[in-house]
A = this chain, B = another copy of it.
Amino acid sequence: MQNLPFGIFSTQKLRDRRAGVAISDKVLDLKAVSKAGLFTGPILSKSAGPGGCFDQGTLNSFASLGQPAWKEARYTVQHLLSATESILRDDHQLQADCLVPQEEAIMHMPVSIGDYTDFYAAKEHASNMGALFRGKENPLCPNWVHLPVAYHGRSSSIIISGTDVRRPRGQVHGGGEGPPTFQPCNVMDFELEMAVIVGPGNADGTPIPVDQAEEHIFGLVLMNDWSARDIQRWEMLPLGPFNSKNFATSISPWIVTLDALEPFRCSAPQQEPEVLPYLRETNRGNYDIPLQVAIQPEGTQQPHTVTRSNLRHLYWTLPQMLAHHTAGGCNLRPGDLIGSGTISCPAEDGKGCLAELTAGGKVPTSIGGKPYRFLQDGDAVTISGLCEKDGLKIGFGNCIGKILPARPGPV
The answer to the question of A372 belonging to the interface, with a C-beta cut-off of 8 Å to chain B, is no
Which among A22-30, A151-159, A215-223, A377-385 touches the partner chain?
A: A151-159
The answer to the question of A41 belonging to the interface, with a C-beta cut-off of 8 Å to chain B, is no
- Chain B CB count within 10 A is highest, among A181, A207, A327, for A327
- Complex CA–CA separation, A130 to B237 (angstroms): 11
Interface string of A145-189 (1 = CB under 8 A from B): 011011111111101000000101111010000011110010000
Q: A238 contacts B235, CB within 8 Å?
A: no
Interface string of A247-282 (1 = CB under 8 A from B): 110000000000000000000000001001110000
Considering the complex, give the chain B residue whose CB is closest to the CB of A247: B329
A interface, over-half SS: loop
Interface size class on chain A is: 35 or more
Q: B156 contacts A153, CB within 8 Å?
A: no
- Complex CA–CA separation, A243 to B149 (angstroms): 10
- Complex CA–CA separation, A234 to B141 (angstroms): 10
- Complex CA–CA separation, A36 to B265 (angstroms): 62
- Complex CA–CA separation, A169 to B168 (angstroms): 38
Considering the complex, give the chain B residue whose CB is closest to the CB of A207: B409
Q: Which chain B residues border A247 with CB–CB below 8 Å?
A: 205, 328-330
Q: B150 contacts A242, CB within 8 Å?
A: yes
Q: A328 contacts B228, CB within 8 Å?
A: yes
- Complex CA–CA separation, A258 to B151 (angstroms): 32
Q: B134 contacts A238, CB within 8 Å?
A: yes
The answer to the question of A240 belonging to the interface, with a C-beta cut-off of 8 Å to chain B, is yes
Q: B154 contacts A151, CB within 8 Å?
A: no
Q: Which chain B residues border A143 with CB–CB below 8 Å?
A: 171, 173, 180, 234-235, 237
- Chain B CB count within 10 A is highest, among A149, A170, A240, for A240
Q: A156 contacts B243, CB within 8 Å?
A: no
Q: A278 contacts B182, CB within 8 Å?
A: yes
Q: A151 contacts B242, CB within 8 Å?
A: yes
Q: Which chain B residues border A207 with CB–CB below 8 Å?
A: 409-410
- Complex CA–CA separation, A247 to B209 (angstroms): 16
Considering the complex, give the chain B residue whose CB is closest to the CB of A341: B239
The answer to the question of A133 belonging to the interface, with a C-beta cut-off of 8 Å to chain B, is yes
Q: B243 contacts A151, CB within 8 Å?
A: no
Considering the complex, give the chain B residue whose CB is closest to the CB of A182: B276
Our pick among B146, B248, B328 for the contact of A246 (Cβ within 8 Å) is B328
The answer to the question of A324 belonging to the interface, with a C-beta cut-off of 8 Å to chain B, is yes
Which residues of chain A from 296 to 329 have a CB within 8 Å of any chain B CB? 324-325, 327-329
Which among A49-57, A77-85, A331-339, A363-371 touches the partner chain?
A: A331-339
Closest 10 CB pairs of A and B: A240-B240, A168-B328, A278-B410, A151-B239, A243-B328, A152-B152, A247-B329, A246-B330, A239-B240, A141-B237
Binding site for B on A (CB under 8 A): 114-115, 120, 130, 133-134, 141-143, 146-147, 149-157, 159, 166, 168-171, 173, 179-182, 185, 204-205, 207, 209, 228, 231, 234-244, 246-248, 273, 276-278, 324-325, 327-333, 336, 407, 409-411
